Chain A
Amino acid sequence: MIEYERYTLNNGLTVILHHDDSTPLVAVNILYKVGSKNENPEKTGFAHLFEHLMFGGSKNVSSFDTIMQNAGGDNNAFTNSDLTNFYDIMPSDNLETALWLESDRMMQLDFSQKNLDIQKKVVVEEFKETCLNKPYGDLWHHLSSLTYKTHPYQWPTIGKIPKHIEDAELSDVKSFFNNYYTPSNAILVLSGKFDTNDAKRKIDKWFGSIPAGETFLDKVPTEDVQNEKRTEKLFRNVPSDAYYLAFHIVDRKHKDFATYDIISDILSGGRSSRFYQNLLKGSALFSNVSAYITGTIDPGLFVVEARYLNDADVDQGISMIWQELDRLKLEKVADQELQKIKNSMISSICFSEVSIVHKAINLAYYEMLGNVDLINNQEEEYNQVTSEDIIRLANQTFVESNSSEIYYLKKSEATEIT
């Protein structure tokens, strides 16, 4: 159970305070409700590039990092398709320094051509390092565009191509900042050691005078229902064959979300899971096989990933994967197996509450979903899932017409085929 206090400043900034005296630190987390799904299809990768620019100085702070480090703090940020999140971990005495730094860059970022030029290069190198220069690195570029045809989840957060990043201009930076980095489009969370009244006073002091601004959100196009199987074959210089299978599922707020999460755990949560025991250990085909949900705010994906052992028969592996998916449609999951998954979920929620940063990020995320209270309802939501729910959703979801598959094969086989 995470206790918190929530309120809103006059300029629209949502504030959530979670006090935890057992730590000498405080985490300051700011979530901006903008991600790669808000991008122009011709200028992808921009939300993430912008995250980098937020460290380039603001009106009254020439170097964010220098001050942060002088205050003994550390910080980082991440961007995904739905949101951009910044967090600082400070010695609790220096909470106010983080509030100063974060408020100044929310109020007025320093738009510098030099900073933009350098960070474009850094992000292009990041693109190469994470997507182009390692085996299977471009998988999500292909899987996103195969599964989504109209929704902007069709490109990964890093961007479609490096050129989109290289082409970014200072005018894009300005309008993006002015539209999305407003107080009313942000959520501030404090988690850790602080004096509540003192913290409130300081938050008001640094954030209260930031002009409200206005955020215009373009309607994000919805994805049409998929009605035929999609297949893509890639031949690459990779050490072993891989196979990916994705199905469309519900959005994050849908009541069936917890059931999908449980299904993915039945298949691949831990060493007792069905994939691990029946596929990885039960055959000599795989070096790794897993299932997970993407957990995006708009309707997401249920993904199965398989890495093969050398020279294993890919099709045989696929039919074993389908056997496990089909089994979920017919056979009731035993009470004990379902209880096992629920116990694991409850344990991992409890383990995650050890970290103040984790709690801060989660509080901001649930607030963005529309109800921060959900953070304390997770256990309940998972407990309500029944084996009938699982059968119903498996039948509805794991069908060919709702599937997209990628064969990611060793190059040598391409030459054999052609």
Chain B
Amino acid sequence: MLDRKKGPPIFTEYDLRFDDYSSYNLPNGIEVTEINSGTQDIVKVDFIIRSGRVKEEKIGVAKAAIRLMREGTSTHNSEEIAHHFDFYGTSIKIIGGMDYSSISLVTMTRFFDEVFDIWMSLITDPAYDLNELEKYKQVQSQKLKNQLTKNDVLSYRKLTEVIFGEDHPYGYNTEPEDIHKISRQELFDFHNAYIKSRDSFVVISGHYSAHIKKKITDTFSSLNWSDTPSPATFYKKELSHQTIKIPTDNTHQTSIKIGRLLFDCEHEDRGDFAVLNTVLGGYFGSRLMKNIREEKGYTYGIYSIADLWRHGGYFYITTDVGNQYLEQTLEEIYKEIDLLRSTLIEDDEMKMVRNYMLGQSLNLIDGPFAKAQLIKNLKIKKMAVEDFYNRIERIKNINPHSIRDMAEKYLDQNTFTTVLAGGNSV
């Protein structure tokens, strides 16, 4: 008779090492990483620059310069480009981030020769046509206006503005008017200085032939690009402690954001803090989720997040709650934080968080595209796969004392800014 009370044994030794990749520099300084171990005949090529919003001289220029790359070159207009990629079932993905930007090509390998050259010309030869820029302004400013009617967007924008400051690229917010002020010349300037940069790298992943590899590396080798101008130094904001209320028309719930300035992505506490963040609000079994959703039913979801970038980082808690639960929710959040600062986490929970984090790390190495993404994220921060292994080792070895130390050091209520947007904040 099967004993259902007793579950099967749980295994926690996961093999998180991998060696099916290679990294090298082209003669002109551009780095290439290859992960050629897929099972589907798909190839993905990522071109990544270590520039984004941190390098722009005017609000919104970096994102526009990246996003408009696909809207025409000196030889093909936007519509021809769209038709060409769609005809070959090829997808172009563009990301305009804070510290980095990227443009990626994803295609079935049998169409690679048909699409690669045009994709390459988006990088080297964007036309930044005036009509395309006008359309971009029209549509993006309207989409932004739509976003600005959502409680969680409003509370997020205010929080990061207060934490980093209105002059900091991580802190300032784009307004619809800013988008209208972008000029064509500014796009070219950004492209010349930052997109055509030797400080860029390429990641090739999937299951592809030597011919495809050669074509990509030959093409990037032929580029004669210079170094990117060094980044501006950013004013370091002091910690602030305040509560800001934003009244909105969405009165059924209140969006809560509680956060503070943290450290940059290279800081020595980053590994330990990541575990603390997981315990507090980083997964479904977190203390915030268990208490505020699963025991009280105040919200559909509550999370804590630590975003660490090259020039600074921040930590915040985010949730949307029914107005009648606002006060109790704030109280419970502070209660959970105080508990982490005063009491050591029990062994059972420590073990669970460790197992969860290690098991989930398998997702990061699940196939060539996940590995490419992992390496891309590391390289943006000028890190290597070894740093990933170190992170894993830290998760394996962390103890309850280190977690309490992190909480004491960084989760002092007097360093938190609270933003409330919505119904109950009027």
Q: Does the CB pair B322–A125 fall under 8 Å?
A: yes
Q: Does the CB pair B250–A134 fall under 8 Å?
A: yes
**Of A25, A104, A281, which contacts B135 at CB under 8 A?**
A281
**Of B142, B356, B363, which contacts A240 at CB under 8 A?**
B142
Q: Does the CB pair A72–B135 fall under 8 Å?
A: no
A389 interface residue (CB < 8 Å to B): no
Q: Does the CB pair B283–A69 fall under 8 Å?
A: yes
> Which residues of the other chain, A, contact B360 by a CB distance below 8 angstroms?
72, 74
Map CB proximity to B onto A128-171 as digits: 1 under 8 Å, 0 otherwise: 11101111000000000000000000000000000000000000
Size bracket of the B interface: 35 or more
Query: With the chains together, A131 CA to B369 CA distance in Å?
Result: 35
Query: With the chains together, A340 CA to B2 CA distance in Å?
Result: 55
Q: Does the CB pair B8–A118 fall under 8 Å?
A: no
B381 interface residue (CB < 8 Å to A): no
Q: Does the CB pair B12–A72 fall under 8 Å?
A: yes
Map CB proximity to A onto B132-158 as digits: 1 under 8 Å, 0 otherwise: 000100110011011011110000000
> Which residues of the other chain, B, contact A97 by a CB distance below 8 angstroms?
7-8, 10
Q: Does the CB pair B252–A133 fall under 8 Å?
A: yes
Q: Does the CB pair A272–B285 fall under 8 Å?
A: no
A237 interface residue (CB < 8 Å to B): yes
Which residues of B, 280-301, contact A by the 8 Å Cβ criterion?
283-285, 293-300
Q: Does the CB pair A91–B359 fall under 8 Å?
A: yes
> Which residues of the other chain, B, contact A107 by a CB distance below 8 angstroms?
4
Most A CB contacts (10 A, CB to CB) among B106, B138, B148, B353 go to B138
A373 interface residue (CB < 8 Å to B): no
> Which residues of the other chain, A, contact B40 by a CB distance below 8 angstroms?
350-351, 353-354
Interface size on A, residues (CB 8 A): 83
A94 interface residue (CB < 8 Å to B): yes
Q: Does the CB pair B87–A339 fall under 8 Å?
A: yes
B321 interface residue (CB < 8 Å to A): yes
**Of A69, A277, A288, A339, which contacts B352 at CB under 8 A?**
A69
Q: Output the least CB separation between A272 and chain B (Å).
A: 4
Query: With the chains together, A125 CA to B253 CA distance in Å?
Result: 8
Q: How many cross-chain pairs have Cβ atoms below 8 Å apart between A and B?
A: 215
Which residues of A, 26-84, contact B by the 8 Å Cβ criterion?
59-61, 65-67, 69-74
Nearest to A284 among chain B residues (CB) is B138
Q: Does the CB pair A125–B366 fall under 8 Å?
A: no
**9-residue interface stretch from B78-86, B120-128, B210-218, B303-311:** B78-86
Nearest to B142 among chain A residues (CB) is A287
Nearest to B251 among chain A residues (CB) is A133
Q: Does the CB pair B7–A239 fall under 8 Å?
A: no
Contact residues of A: prevailing secondary structure: helix
**9-residue interface stretch from A16-24, A180-188, A291-299, A364-372:** A16-24
Query: With the chains together, A120 CA to B59 CA distance in Å?
Result: 44
Which residues of B, 12-36, contact A by the 8 Å Cβ criterion?
12, 14-15
B355 interface residue (CB < 8 Å to A): yes
Query: With the chains together, A238 CA to B356 CA distance in Å?
Result: 41
Q: Does the CB pair B252–A132 fall under 8 Å?
A: yes
**A72/B356 contact (C-beta < 8 A), A240-B145, A270-B86 known:** yes
> Which residues of the other chain, B, contact A61 by a CB distance below 8 angstroms?
7
**A239/B8 contact (C-beta < 8 A), A133-B250, A339-B87 known:** no
| Chain A interface residues (CB < 8 Å from chain B) | 20, 22-25, 59-61, 65-67, 69-74, 89-91, 93-94, 96-97, 99-101, 104, 107, 117-126, 128-130, 132-135, 202, 205-206, 209, 237-240, 269-273, 276-277, 280-281, 284, 287-288, 307, 309-310, 336, 339-340, 343-348, 350-351, 353-354, 356
7 interchain pairs, CB-CB under 8 A: A25-B363, A25-B366, A73-B359, A122-B293, A135-B149, A276-B82, A343-B87
| Chain B interface residues (CB < 8 Å from chain A) | 2, 4-5, 7-8, 10-12, 14-15, 37-42, 70, 78-79, 82-83, 85-91, 106-108, 135, 138-139, 142-143, 145-146, 148-151, 249-253, 283-285, 293-300, 320-322, 351-353, 355-356, 358-360, 362-363, 365-367, 369, 422
